[in-house]
Structure 1
């Protein structure tokens, strides 16, 4: 039975190693990128220090947006309800235009190539807009008129209080004597690498996905790593009621085009360090002396399902819980429900661990009972091994007969280990993808359950509880020297693996170990009483 347990532990370690590799996949791409082109990384050539004279500043209760007065592009976006760093007052900047990093949302019209497509300040004199307490909506117009006065449009940014999406609307007027053939586009541009953080951003640790994602007529949700754009694959296809986005842990920026026209989505590499994803509408005609309106929505905000459903029925899929989403989603719902009572995500994690262990108790009881029975017949097993050591087939048959006689199923006793794996991985995905858990404190030094323990206290406690659990289980008394050495190193190996895991996940494992120790004590005591009665 113990070789089976060791096998499961090794499988568990292998899965952990796989996750380290998987979430360091960006590191793998980065090293290749570093070898090939890091020396050629371009500093943002369009960068200039943000001057309030050159931008329109718009603030709502959720967003602070900066728009280039000449191009109409969003060059900076702050999420006012989220902090850049824990214990800091600065709001989190999702979009930014800095010397070492570029992340912008651009939009415009095609089909007017003969005109100078720059907004004239004489039509756009206001620089600052602020939504008031009495306002539910804020409209920020930018007017453009051609030099001959025959074509004009108003680009209006429409904000709603409490929302993370912006509606961008074009009202186009054609006074010429011929029809205009026009299309609207929206794109997102972002640096692949922040060259200022090259030396410290790719150390050993768990990485989450950062890249592009989209939903089109063929695929409801698909994603592509930034490093793969123009190398392995590109985004292409058509969509009428979907979106294209750039995603990162906890936050997403996405274009949700107008639904009344067909839209083509795309990705491209602009230079050695900047990629772009976006959409272009199909061409539409504006007849002579007539007008036309077209709009699109832009999401700039956190990955909160109920909010994202307001703009798209599938954008919430960017909350990427991986292949175990069917575990992670209900697990988060339960955790969120518990947090509504405790108002502390750490206590909620402890509570959900207790609930899981309680639900699994009948299965755990079978496991511990099987382990106790195995220990009780270990003397007989050793005798069989000595007696039939030269005849493996007979040895195996005798041991199987002994198991049957004592009603022992060596495989069935490990069902809790199998069940714990998807729960563990689901909780991991939940911690790194649920923005509600970002910067969520527990107590004392644990001020962010979604990040590693800064002093590594929890991983060490986890290693200690694993060691105690191993001792209480009594495994080392019934295995050979080689297996014993492997088991002795297990707590150390586990501790090393867990050093970089989110502290909330380590907390779950510590509580799970403590509850397992208590359960084993109770069950073994009960079994001992039953044995004495006999």
Structure 2
């Protein structure tokens, strides 16, 4: 195989692998996961079971779900509550059990429609999709101390929890123990909870602090392999654990130990986490009870024993995060509260060393231009400038390769049956002309980590959610809403709903523009001499157009702009190296000739 064929083969392999990885990474695996989830959710009812840890038994997860759940308003009205009212949060605390089980996010709505419902995070028992957090004390194993459980009714010193005014709940067990729970919240998403116990009995009592979050029934997830949704947390100095709902085994909970840390549940944009005192050693775990749905998914920790002597008081401080995964908010909590690895609640992916700085750069520019789409375009230019020296050398090599194409064809005619002499002559020609046959692959290879990093930024960061660009792009994190197969809205049907290949029919205006830009870029490269490779390269822009059609519009806009910059850069480098760019010249002649089409033809004799 000669050097030119080797170059083309390497580039063909790279592109083919990208296509296969892209299909499996973004579509194949997610679709398989969705199918499995649908099969699992076809099963029905199960009840919760108690959880244990660190010499203590946690409260049972609750009664089985009724066959006909109440509505959310009915479930909320079933018990007395303390209202939550801050700039960012609304909801209530259930005085039965002292549960944080009703939470809405005021700044976020379900759709781009400003009148759509706000996002609901926590929900009460008895209603749809119960999801709550709780903290408190449990007795040491072998003792008979009576601690509050989920049907214990607390009293409160206030009717509303605000960012400026904490509330204190009180429960008297009737046997000499008085429990207090002071709940404070900031203006974002962090609750600080101080649990204390007064021992007015004549005997010491040994208790363990605990906290847990429970989700009843497997949540609906977006199902993309690029994004982790499920259990997440890091305890002590351990690495971040990420376990999906499908992979948790009822018989084998995931357990860990350490001092401090955090653990909870993460959705695409929202999360909840229990955070112990960062100096307190805890036994933590992820668990599920029940093999059929709706099972109880729990994440919890139990702290060391605390012995409270008669006429004394003991207390423990813990925190609960419940809200949107705003990058700067989470980073501030990590820095200000000393919560180790809390920033990894956001799934930055394999290329986190690129993804995080890229988001910070985009966010920094956004603060000046006020549009994330414009910020992405500016960052693309900056990335092109950073790689300009390397890309220029690669494009120069490609220009030289294209310049010697006639000579390579002549060598093949000169040695049609002697591959060894043909390859030797080609190597001599490359050496003479200063051509590197594989250098042309570098610009595309360089873009791979940047492409995936930007995809992660657009796909996972809530800052990109519902962020508009211009025209019809009202959400950079969603696909282009236009579609050529509906004549851009004239035909009232949804081709993406078709099974198997429906997502390939999400072909809007921006994906089409991207395909055209990729076509120009491919035409700027040296044309493969092998017919199979030539055909594959010719179809590559079409394949990528359909593949990227269902991707976030922000990513397609980036790819289009990046192709445009690359074509422009490559054009000038080729002209500088004496290579005639026939496609560009033909287009220039065509557009320059357009005015002549509308010019009045001279009459005979004029």
Q: One fold, TM greater than 0.5?
A: yes
Counterpart residue number, 1:328: 355
Q: What pairs with 1:115-130 in structure 2 (closer than 5 Å)? A: 117=149, 118-120=151-153, 123-124=155-156, 126=158, 128-129=159-160
Change over 3 Å in CA distance of 1:490–1:314 after alignment to 2: same
Could you list the runs of 5+ residues in structure 1 that have no partner in the other structure? none
Residue 521 of structure 1 pairs with residue 525 of structure 2: no
Which residues in structure 2 correspond to 1:78-477 (within 5 Å)? Answer: 78-89=104-115, 90-97=117-124, 99-111=127-139, 114=146, 117=149, 118-120=151-153, 123-124=155-156, 126=158, 128-129=159-160, 131=162, 137-148=164-175, 150-160=176-186, 162-191=187-216, 193-194=218-219, 208-230=227-249, 234-271=253-290, 272=292, 273-303=295-325, 304=327, 305-309=330-334, 310-311=336-337, 312-455=339-482, 456-471=508-523, 473=524, 475-476=526-527
**How many Å apart are 1:35 and its aligned residue?**
4.1
Distance 1:255 1:469 in 2: 50
Displacement of 1:33: 4.9
Distance 2:147 2:367 in 1: 56
* Cα distance between partner residues in 1 of 2:26 and 2:444: 20
Structure 1 position 523, deviation (Å): 1.9
**Deviation, structure 1 residue 178:** 1.2
- Matched residue of 1:278: which SS? strand
Kept in 2: contact 1:181–1:283 (CA 8 A): yes
Render the CA deviation track for 1:60-86: whole Å, top value 9, x for unaligned. Answer: 112223222211111121122222322
SS where residue 509 of structure 1 aligns? helix
Deviation at 1:512, TM superposition (A): 0.5
Q: Distance in 2 between matches of 1:520 and 1:416?
A: 11
- In structure 2, C-alpha distance between the alignment counterparts of 1:260 and 1:370, rounded to whole Å: 58
Counterpart Cα distance in 2 of 1:394 and 1:475: 22
- C-alpha change, 1:29 and 1:91, in structure 2 (3 Å) is same
1:437-468 Cα deviation digits (max 9, x unpaired): 22111112211111222222211211121122
* Superposition deviation, residue 54 in structure 1: 3.2
What displacement does 1:516 show?
1.4
Q: Distance in 2 between matches of 1:436 and 1:212?
A: 22
Contact preservation (8 Å) 2:257, 2:284: yes
> For 2:128 and 2:427, how far apart are their aligned partners in 1?
66
**Stretch moving more, 69-78 or 49-58:** 49-58
Report the Cα distance in structure 1 between the residues aligned to 2:529 and 2:510, rounded to whole angstroms: 30
- 1:217-273 per-residue CA deviation (whole Å, 9 max, x = no partner) reads 342322111111116963212121211121122322111112453211012112333
Aligned: 1:70 with 2:96: yes
User: What's the secondary structure of 2:477's corresponding residue?
Assistant: coil
Any idea what the Cα deviations from partners look like across 1:185-240, whole Å, max 9, x if unmatched? 1111124534xx69xx66xx776211111112342322111111116963212121
Matches within 5 A, 1:17-28: 17-20=23-26, 24=30, 27-28=31-32
Q: Equivalent residue of 1:293, what SS? A: strand
Following TM superposition, by how much is the alpha carbon of 1:414 offset from its aligned partner in structure 2, in angstroms? 2.1
Q: Is the Cα contact below 8 Å between 2:82 and 2:161 reproduced in 1?
A: no
Pick closer, same or farther for the CA change 1:232–1:527 going to 2, 3 Å: farther
| Cα pair distance change 1:23/1:342, threshold 3 Å | farther
Deviates more, 1:213-222 or 1:489-498: 213-222
Instruction: Classify 1:277/1:130 alpha carbon distance in 2 versus 1 (closer, same or farther; 3 Å).
Output: closer
Cα RMSD over matched residues? 2.7
Change (3 A) 1:106 1:210: same
Aligned 8 A contact 1:372 1:524 in 2? yes
Kindly state the Cα deviation for residue 36 of structure 1 after the two structures are TM-superposed: 5.5
| 1:357-377 deviation digits (Å, cap 9, x = unpaired) | 222232222222222221222
- Aligned CA distance change for structure 1 residues 236 and 474 (closer, same or farther; 3 Å): closer
- Once the 2 structures are TM-superposed, how far is the Cα of residue 528 of structure 1 from its aligned partner? 2.8
Distance in 1 between residues matched to 2:103 and 2:177, nearest whole Å? 31
Q: Shift of the alpha carbon at 1:396?
A: 2.4
Task: Kindly state the Cα deviation for residue 130 of structure 1 after the two structures are TM-superposed.
Answer: 5.2
Distance in 1 separating the partners of 2:250 and 2:285: 14
Give the Cα separation in 2 of the matches to 1:479 and 1:330.
41
Runs of 4+ in 1 over 6 A off after TM superposition: none
Q: Aligned equivalents of 1:209 and 1:443: distance in 2?
A: 30
TM-score normalised according to structure 1 size: 0.89
Unaligned runs of at least 5 residues, structure 2: 1-6, 48-63, 483-507, 582-606
C-alpha change, 1:363 and 1:232, in structure 2 (3 Å) is farther
Residue 354 and residue 291 in structure 1: after superposition, are their counterparts in 2 closer, same or farther (change >3 A)? Answer: same
Change (3 A) 1:153 1:474: closer
Aligned length, in residue pairs: 513
* Aligned partner of 1:31 among 31, 35, 45: 35
- The answer to whether structure 1 residue 45 and structure 2 residue 65 are counterparts is yes
How many Å separate the matches in 1 of 2:145 and 2:310?
Answer: 18
- TM-aligned CA distance change 1:4 to 1:250, over 3 Å: same
Distance in 2, Cα, partners of 1:492 & 1:42 = 49
